[in-house]
Amino acid sequence: MDRARGGAWRLTPVTTLYFVRHGESEANAAHVFAGRRDSPLTARGREQAKVVAAAVRSVHFDRIVTSTLSRTKDTAAEIAAGRDVPVETYADLDEIDLGDASGKPFDEMRGLPNYDRDGFTRWPGGESLEQVVTRAMGVIDRLVGESAGKTICVVGHGGVTRILVSGFLGVLPKLIRVPATNTNITIVTHAPEHGYMVDEMFNDAHVVQAGG
């Protein structure tokens, strides 16, 4: 709370952010790192996007934002369908630049000696943890500053969201390995007196099962 003119106390605005990961991409299905590559949604990913859109249909979003990559934009388009809310794109929400790891199989890269199972791996030619935090938090802080007290849907990527959530939980440079599934939802609130707080994490509630 803060003190208004005249000495009365008033509640400070709480901003709510829904972080939604994109649906399954072609790279996800192939078990390879995509990074900044524009890997489109698979048919399953498009169905997942419809399922998560239905799951948040009752939530009023004042803003819907996404990265510039098609897998997030197409997921965001499903969430925005039927709402009078434009989808805003921010390049600084794009997935981590993985450098030489882009397009490489998960198993191959995770077997290398420099892979950090508990933290962030900077691949040759790729971004550092500090670079990702700086650019992504710059967007989030800007959104909260512009839309205090509003509800914002941020459709993003597993890597960037994992870093943001780990930062909100105060464990960086360690990484919380959830949220991990496609179209998972993490709800974060912000108020001036406590900063960012992770309220809820739905890791696998919106996954379309194979054949379903």
Assigned token pair, 120: 């962030």
Backbone angles phi, psi at 195, to 5 degrees: 70, -145
Domain membership flag for residue 11 = no
Instruction: Please state, in angstroms and rounded to a whole number, the distance separating the CA atoms of residues 16 and 140.
Output: 11
Q: Is residue 190 part of a domain?
A: yes
Would you say residue 4 lies in a domain?
Answer: no
Annotate 132-143 with three-state secondary structure: HHHHHHHHHHHH
In a domain, 211, yes or no: no
Angstrom distance (rounded) from CA 101 to CA 146: 36
User: What is the CATH classification number for the domain harbouring 62?
Assistant: 3.40.50.1240
**Residue 157 placed within a domain:** yes
In a domain, 28, yes or no: yes
* Domains: count for the chain: 1
Position 68 scores a pLDDT of: 98
Domain that holds residue 95: 16-202
32: which residues sit within 8 A by CB, 6+ positions away? Answer: 103, 104, 105, 106
pTM of the model: 0.90
List alpha helices for 10-154, DSSP H: 26-30, 43-55, 70-80, 106-110, 129-146
**79 to 18, 47, 122, 191, 195: CA distances (angstroms):** 12, 12, 32, 25, 27
Cis bond upstream, residue 192 (ω within 30): no
For each of the chain's 212 residues, which pLDDT tens digit applies?
444 444 444 467 899 999 999 999 999 999 999 999 999 999 999 999 999 999 999 999 999 999 999 999 999 999 999 999 999 999 999 999 999 999 999 888 888 888 888 899 999 999 999 999 999 999 999 999 999 999 999 999 999 999 999 999 999 999 987 657 999 999 999 999 899 999 988 765 555 443 33
